[in-house]
Amino acid sequence: MIWNEEFETLPREALEALQLKRLKRLVERVYSAVPYYQKKMDEAGVSPRDMKSLSDLARIPFTTKEDLRINYPFGLFAVPFEQVVRIHASSGTTGKPTVVGYTKQDIDSWAELMARTLACGGAHQGDVVHNAYGYGLFTGGLGAHYGAEKMGTAVIPISGGNSKRQIMIMQDFGSTVLLCTPSYALNLADVMREMNVEPATLKLRVGLFGAEPWSENMRDEIEKKLGIKAIDIYGLSEVMGPGVASECIEEKSGLHVFEDFFIPEIINPETGESLPPGQTGELVFTTLTKEAFPVMRYRTKDISRLITEQCSCGRTFYRMQRITGRSDDMLIIRGVNVFPSQIEHVLMSIEGVEPHYQIIVDRQGALDIMEVQVEVMDQIFSDEIKVLENLSKRIEREIKDLLGVSCRIKLVEPRTIQRSEGKAKRVIDKRKI
């Protein structure tokens, strides 16, 4: 089902006209309300009057996490503080969190976007939405919650953690739609197995997973283990939270960006130059309607590509390819660029390997050492040493073939790698550079 036919199937021309109208208003509003942005635009020699066509957006300076840090906590809010009704924050890897605000209208838009996302994933009124995204400052829990209510589903605000209780509630309340990170979905599948709960006896039909990178192979794994369809959903706090883009259940191939609310661009992360559709680079978003915390050309550091071909589901919005990495997640191992997603891709394609792994990077002398710790299935772990040796050699060889760097493989017993209840921590970089 398409939640909002009128907007989600707009012909391209009408959509772009709407975007331009909204863009003009946005730039004017931001310029007059936020002195910091006004200064940046003045320095770049661009004024709101210059927004004559959508291509003029490229004249606006980028916004980065550094801009947010400088203005911590509320310096980039574009409305009087009395109009702010909600504050969220995302924990950075270092220092202070990134803080974002919402007006009443922003919360309504967000609910609309999450209702669209749920509909994209095949949810409908009457569904029991098991919302295991964390409630709190993280945008996942409350963001999804309001969308589920708007759609008219029965939402269970279970939040993350306490997996046994989650499963009991799934059984007793008849949860049909699961919302959580993909790594937590796998964690739940493992706990089901430990509890001898057969996933087929549950009513779960579909899961909307996001907030962290995952791969096509991990999707297969989740679908197989939980017996559901797994949908990729994307968003980030600075732009809104979840509800920026979503796969449709019809194609499960690329995530529709809700382009009446956000303009996506792809840039070369090194030069900042705009790239044409189809090319891979860093995703950049401009929010078209947000009141409290609008952003212009926000650099996400997420790597993707835009797909402009029409989708069979009927939505006309461009799709973004699933995120293949982050420009700042990239590890440089002995000079070679390595994305954790590439390692995951290798691991998930090998029989006997569990989807739980951690990459540990260290430096011995002047040499970078990468160790991949990965869990193997029970029966393999209790097998002969030779079997384990062969498996670890095979993983090592395949990683070397794909990435051109050698690494150490450490096969570990099932359930030894720490499980996440939210975003999984895949990389531990111990190098002091």
In the complex, the residues that contact ligand DLL under the rule CB under 6 A are 90, 133, 138-140, 210-213, 232-237, 241-242, 300, 302, 323, 326
Q: Report the C-alpha gap between 84 and 105 in whole angstroms.
A: 10
Smallest gap, in angstroms, from Cβ of residue 97 to ligand DLL?
A: 10
Assign residue 227 a region: left if phi > 0, alpha if psi is -120 to 50, beta otherwise? left
Q: Which two tokens stand for residue 375?
A: 């869990």
The DSSP element (H or E) to which 143 belongs, if any, is: helix 139-151
Kindly tell me which of 48 and 150 has the beta carbon lying closer to ligand DLL: 150
Smallest gap, in angstroms, from Cβ of residue 285 to ligand DLL?
A: 10
Which position has the token pair 């490229």? 58
Smallest gap, in angstroms, from Cβ of residue 209 to ligand DLL?
A: 7
Kindly tell me which of 128 and 211 has the beta carbon lying closer to ligand DLL: 211
Kindly tell me which of 48 and 254 has the beta carbon lying closer to ligand DLL: 254
Kindly tell me which of 139 and 175 has the beta carbon lying closer to ligand DLL: 139
Question: Which residue has its beta carbon closest to ligand DLL?
Answer: 210
Q: What is the DSSP letter of 132?
A: -
229 with 206: CB under 8 angstroms? yes
Smallest gap, in angstroms, from Cβ of residue 317 to ligand DLL?
A: 16
Give the pairing of strands 331-333 and 325-326.
Answer: unpaired
Count CB-CB contacts under 10 A for residue 68. Answer: 23
Smallest gap, in angstroms, from Cβ of residue 298 to ligand DLL?
A: 10
Kindly tell me which of 287 and 391 has the beta carbon lying closer to ligand DLL: 287
Smallest gap, in angstroms, from Cβ of residue 375 to ligand DLL?
A: 22
Kindly tell me which of 232 and 375 has the beta carbon lying closer to ligand DLL: 232
Scored b (16 or more CB within 10 A) or e, 187-221 reads bbbbbbeeeebebeebebbbbbbbbbbbbebbbeb
Q: What is the 3-state secondary structure (H, E, C) of 164-206?
A: HHHHHHHHHHCCCEEEECHHHHHHHHHHHHHCCCCHHHCCCCE
Kindly tell me which of 163 and 246 has the beta carbon lying closer to ligand DLL: 246
Smallest gap, in angstroms, from Cβ of residue 283 to ligand DLL?
A: 8
